[in-house]
Structure 1
Amino acid sequence: MSRVTLVQVFKHRITQKYLQRSGIHHAVTVATYAYDLAIRKGVSPDLATKSALLHDMGHYEWYRDGKWDYEEYRKHDIHAIKGAERAHKLLIRLGEDRLVAKEVSLAVLLHTDSYLPFTLDNQRNALQDVVAEADRKDEQQHGLHHYKKMTPSQAVKLLSHLDKKIIVPS
């Protein structure tokens, strides 16, 4: 089975739809951070970058009176749950190995504990920690990191560079 690349994942129509909501810039930046952290921590860069790229694909927009309402969004947030489901379905459609799809979807599910009534401190495995840390590195107050801009062509160029760096054991 050949490796499903980050560029293939990014170019899929489902990814395009949901990354428009959560921010292409944020997704690609977090994937880049995840690669570096994975190398440093001995975690699979393939799993880390895929998880990081897809970590926020469960986001939705919450508007009140025609204006973005960050506080209401935070109160009703379940983006990690929706994102895990979407990431798994997407990867299976692309022909990804089932165990890879499962690990990625779990990392997406556990990249934040904002939707839980408890914290995940010391509960994540190494991959999940890498994705959570990479996400925190790019975070800005009030979700502003989701509004940074990056064109799809810039994203493909950066993801292609990451793809070339990733070596998957046979």
Structure 2
Amino acid sequence: MRHVTLVQLFDHPITQKYVKRSGMAHAVACAYHAFRLAKKHKVDPDRATKAAFLHDIGHYTWYRDGKWDYDLYKENDIHAIKGSERAHKLLIRLGEHPRTAKEIALAILLHTDSYLPEGYLELNPLQHVVALADELDEEPGGDHHYRTISDDRARRMLDRLDRKIESTLIQNEMKHSM
């Protein structure tokens, strides 16, 4: 059973403020990538899409002299850390199951290794799906954060994805009950 939908997340003022700042079109695209990847990697599509949708909710805007500074961002950013905490708080406020909120927050924390020292990070399947979904939508120089989408279109796309998730979860329940 789903406690929180993507549309509920989209409608929340925190999401509107912070996900829009990092790119709503990118967030929606990543949620769709995560849905497809969740099937392939046998991961819960509800958790995967929520984590992918919220993965950049912790972005800070790195400007120098009034202009976006990609190098400053790459050098100093910890958006995955901030985003993990922000997404967890949002999910709990909306009524998400605490265990699910924690899994989603951890997937957001580990969707990138850009803030970690060099080394190998072993991801669980959900974390791997979210990282892949982000990579699939990336563009050079962070341009994926600047694509635009209208609120109406984003909401319609998320509503459609919510229905696909529900259908998948029902099908999975039916398979396991037989």
TM interval, shorter chain, is: over 0.9
1:57 aligns with 2:63: no
Offset, 1:120 = 4.2
Partner in structure 2 of residue 164 of structure 1: 163
Q: Where does the alignment leave 5 or more consecutive residues of structure 2 unmatched?
A: 174-178
Secondary structure of the residue aligned to 2:25 is helix
Aligned pair in 2 of structure 1 residues 2, 36: CA closer, same or farther (>3 Å)? closer
Say whether the 8 Å CA contact 1:52–1:135 is kept in structure 2: yes
The alignment yields a C-alpha RMSD, in angstroms, of 1.3
1:95 aligns with 2:95: yes
Structure ID, larger Rg: 2
TM-score by length of 1: 0.96
Partner in structure 2 of residue 24 of structure 1: 24
Partner in structure 1 of residue 5 of structure 2: 5
Secondary structure of the residue aligned to 1:56 is coil
Q: Percent identity?
A: 59
Secondary structure of the residue aligned to 1:166 is helix
Partner in structure 1 of residue 71 of structure 2: 71
In 1: Cα distance, 2:98 partner to 2:118 partner = 29
Say whether the 8 Å CA contact 1:113–1:119 is kept in structure 2: no
In 1: Cα distance, 2:20 partner to 2:29 partner = 14
TM-score by length of 2: 0.91
Equivalent residue pairs, number = 169
In 1: Cα distance, 2:81 partner to 2:120 partner = 15
Partner in structure 2 of residue 109 of structure 1: 109
Partner in structure 2 of residue 142 of structure 1: 141
Q: Where does the alignment leave 5 or more consecutive residues of structure 1 unmatched?
A: none
Offset, 1:143 = 0.3
Offset, 1:19 = 1.1
1:51-90 superposed Cα distances (whole Å, 9 cap, x missing partner): 0000000001011111110001110010000000000000
Tell me which stretches of 4 or more aligned residues in structure 1 moved more than 2 Å.
118-121, 167-170
Partner in structure 2 of residue 125 of structure 1: 124
Secondary structure of the residue aligned to 1:116 is coil
In 2: Cα distance, 1:54 partner to 1:78 partner = 15
